[in-house]
Amino acid sequence: MGDKRRLMREAIADLVHDGDSIALGLALESGIPFGAVHEIIRQGRRDLTLIGPISDMAFDQLIGAGSARRVIAAWVGNVAGGSGYGFRRGVEQGIPRALEVEDHSNFTVGLALKAAAMGLPFLPTLTGLGSDIVRDHPRIRPVDDPFGGPPLLAVGALTPDVTIVHAQRADPQGNAHLWGNLGLTVEGAYAAKRTIITCEEIVDEAVIRSDPNRTVIPGFLVDAVVEAPGGALPSSCQGYWRRDFEPFLSYHRQSRTVEGFQAWLQEWVLGVPSLTAALAKLGPDRLSRLRVEERRLAAAANFAP
């Protein structure tokens, strides 16, 4: 399947274009590919459509940086702090630019991705009946049950141009092992036209093949695999990194004003050349507090034939 290893800068430059729709943060609060998010901002992408279930800070940062034109999501904010000020400024005041929102629930945005992942125009559901979200919704319509039951709602397929996933490990062909909570990660990778895997470790294919049930994203669906240890910080990565709680709170405080947001942006994104530099900026003590040293290994599973 060929060697798909790329540097973060190359992968974002080649696979993420102005105007693209991008699904990321699909595992909800963990495994958010902040390294890729900040590289997208550094490269000055514009007019992006951001797709996800809940977004914990990542969408707020992309919106504040002016990279996004549209959001398709169930919840945008800061899970620890509540409101996302960048999101609010975009919707309420068009700062830094007007922002369209296609509101969803976690289930309906998941079904939209799943429909695309299944190669279907829609999937039916019972959720949302009686809600204002589904009223005049561009992607949700009534559908009859051909077996005579009461009517349902149909959620139309949503095909991201790019899905970005942070995995624990992958081989050079992009076969990726993920564990912990998965959220909509698998559906997002299947649904997308292009998929970028950022991961803690690129490992020998023998590691991946030793446990094919852990390969939730097969490499032939992947366009680039980027070795980016810590690429999900400050969100957590099971078995590798704890959640770094402080940046969520400090970003929440700083981003209350445009000036504060710009200061944050300059200090943590525009002013640092790369993920590596951003992690170095945290300092060794901080990193060692966040790094998981303890080992609680999955029980043995024998695949011998």
Partner 1 sequence: MTVATGTRRELMVVAAGREIRDGEVVFVGMRLPLLGFGLAKATHAPHAVGLFENGVIRDRPAEDFIYTMGDPPNIAGAIACLGLLDVMSLLQQGRVDVGFIGGAEIDPLGNLNTTRAEADGRVVRLPGSGGGQDIASLARRTVLIMEHEPRRFRPHVSYVTSPGHWPGRRRGGPATLITTLGVFDLRGGRFRVESLHPGVGLDEVRAATGFPIEAEASPRTTKPPTPSELAYIRRADPQGFWTGGPS
Q: Which residues bind its own copies (CB under 8 A)?
A: 119-126, 141-147, 149, 152, 154, 156, 168, 177, 179-180, 182, 203, 207-208, 210-211, 213-214, 238-240, 242, 292, 294-305
168: three-class secondary structure by DSSP:
strand
| Residue (99 or 265) nearer to partner 1, CB | 99
- The least distance separating partner 1 from the CB of residue 272, rounded to whole angstroms, comes to 25
Q: Least distance (Å) from its own copies to the CB of residue 189?
A: 16
Q: Does 175 bind partner 1 (CB under 8 A)?
A: yes
The tokens describing 215, both together, are: 């390969």
> Taking CB under 8 A as the rule, does residue 250 contact partner 1?
no
Name the region of 180 (left: φ>0; alpha: ψ -120 to 50; beta: rest).
left
Exposure b/e, 120-153, CB count within 10 A at least 16 = b:
eebbebebbeeeeebeebebbeeeeeeeeeeebb
* 283 Rama class: left (phi>0) / alpha (psi -120 to 50) / beta: left
Length of the chain: 305
User: Residue 169 or 243: which CB sits closer to partner 1?
Assistant: 243
Of 3, 43, 100, 129, the one binding partner 1 by CB under 8 A: 129
In the list 66, 219, 229, 231, the residue contacting partner 1 (rule: CB under 8 A) is 219
Instruction: Confirm or reject binding of residue 218 to partner 1 (CB under 8 A).
Output: yes
Q: How far is the CB of 146 from partner 1 (least distance, A)?
A: 18
Distances (CA, A) of 301 to 169, 202, 213, 297: 18, 22, 10, 11
Nearest CA-CA partner of 15 in 39, 32, 26, 53: 39
Size, binding site for partner 1 by CB under 8 A: 82
- Name which of its own copies, partner 1, none residue 156 binds, using a CB cut-off of 5 to 8 Å depending on partner kind: its own copies
Taking CB under 8 A as the rule, which mask of x and - marks residues 67-96 in contact with partner 1?
A: ------xxxxx-xx-xxx--xx--xx----
Q: Is the Cβ of residue 114 or residue 194 nearer to partner 1 in the bound state? A: 114
DSSP assigned state of 266:
I
Any residues with CB less than 8 A from the CB of 173 and at least 6 apart, and which? 1, 2, 3, 4, 205, 219, 222, 225
Q: Which does 6 bind (CB under 5 to 8 A by kind): partner 1, its own copies, none?
A: none
